[in-house]
Amino acid sequence: MKSSIPSKNNIGISLGAAFLMANSSIGPGFLTQTSFYTEQLLTSFGFVIIISILLDFGAQINIWRAITLSGMRAQEIANEVLPGLGSILSFLVVLGGFAFNIGNIAGCGLALNILTGITFAKGAIISGIVAIIIFWLQEVGKMLDQLTKFLGIFKIGLTLIIVYAAHPPLLEAVHHSFVPEKISWIAIVTIVGGTVGGYITFSGAHRLIDAGISGPDQIGFVTKSASRGILISSTMRFILFLAAVGVVSKGIKLDANNPAATVFETAGGRWGLFIFGMVLWSAAISSVVGASYTSYTFIKHIQNKWIQKERWMISAFIIASTGIFVTIGKPKDLLLMAGLVNGFILPIALAVMLIAGRKLTALKQFKYPLWMETAGWMVVLLMGGMSVFALIDKFA
């Protein structure tokens, strides 16, 4: 099916989908995980980033291509492979997205606490209301494209200021990114899970087919969009890593409850903490939007009059996430665990997409490059094995 959308609009949608995927991953969990593991691994964390980028490409491009070639959402493809499998995948993805969204709302509350002094709970409630209003202001697709591009560029620009102030050991960081002094498998699984695990890897692809971009003639376009998403999130990851390693290399211990805040405050003082508040709120609210939208796309196919009310369902998702955070709390542990759990969802979802490429008529007619299919199965095996190893290591 050839898209009837003009080329100029396609480019805008492509960038919007890339930034949606990237912003979905660059949330409070992203900031927490990157700072937490940088303190553990120091400059060797750069190696974790590089490995995660390679695994991200193997996962993301295969999944985006399968979805846009078929014109079906991931859960619909899964049901074609095996009846009922789509429901299981939807349950896992929505559950993972919900867990992350509670952490995202917590990040919003913490950010407004830093910026204005109001309580975490009030900040979370205000941010939840803002997120709901965003979905009701205009057509959802256009809003996602515009908002995610702005927030993505905003976060990267502010964090670069902190990198400059932190004076990281650049040569050592580059060297150990390729020749690490130590390796952490649990860090790799958590980072990959937090970048393309769970709902995140489907966010941009579902946005593209919602915009009518699908079919074999769009495959090059889709591949570029997926690659851009990975590069955007990886750029932010590496920038934050440099800021964090600049701080911890000076012997400063990060706050166990909010490691990223220590990075910004140490590097920039009071203004650094203010910048952290802005980065955190931008990261959190964009992730709330991304998680809520993508989670909804996994139930969108259900023919029910209430489920078809897109804005109402997304609003209910945000309200539920906000309510649980306000009553339960403990976002840091939840964010780290959500990244680990979503690391398990990735190999399952990717395996389904790869099997679909061999089984479904809509996908078999377009022959996948052997190297791409091989890379996809390598990610399934590596992430599946490392996820099991990381889980055993965590609870041993």
- Domain definitions of the chain by residue range: 7-395
CA quadruple 275, 24, 245, 243: dihedral sign:
negative
Range 73-79 contact pairs with CB under 8 angstroms and sequence separation of 24 or more: 73/202, 73/206, 73/209, 73/297, 73/298, 73/300, 73/301, 74/202, 74/205, 74/206, 74/298, 74/349, 74/352, 74/353, 75/298, 75/301, 76/301, 77/352, 77/353, 77/356, 77/360, 78/352, 78/356
Count CB atoms within 10 A of the CB of residue 317: 23
Q: Taking the mean position of all CA atoms in its chain, how far away is CA 41?
A: 22
Question: Which residues have CB under 8 Å from 321's CB, separation 6+?
Answer: 98, 101, 102, 104, 105, 128, 288, 292
Q: What is the pTM of this model?
A: 0.79
Class of domain 7-395: mainly alpha
Question: Which residues have CB under 8 Å from 132's CB, separation 6+?
Answer: 314, 315, 318, 319
Residue by residue, pLDDT tens for the chain (396 residues) are 444 444 555 666 667 777 777 776 777 777 888 888 888 888 999 998 898 888 888 788 888 888 888 888 888 888 888 888 888 888 888 887 887 788 888 888 888 988 888 888 899 999 999 888 888 876 665 666 677 777 778 888 888 888 888 888 889 988 988 988 888 877 887 787 777 766 777 877 888 887 777 777 777 777 888 888 888 888 888 888 888 888 888 888 888 777 888 888 888 888 888 888 888 888 888 888 888 888 888 887 777 777 778 788 888 899 998 988 888 766 566 656 665 666 677 788 888 888 887 777 767 666 667 777 787 888 888 778 877 776 676 666
Q: Which two tokens mark 384?
A: 């599946």
Question: Which residues have CB under 8 Å from 68's CB, separation 6+?
Answer: 205, 208, 209, 213, 214, 215, 218, 219, 222
Q: Which two tokens mark 322?
A: 């906000």
Question: Which residues have CB under 8 Å from 60's CB, separation 6+?
Answer: 21, 196, 201, 226, 229, 230
> How far is it, in rounded angstroms, from Cα 102 to Cα 118?
19
Residue carrying the six token digits 């492979």: 81
Residue type present at position 130? V
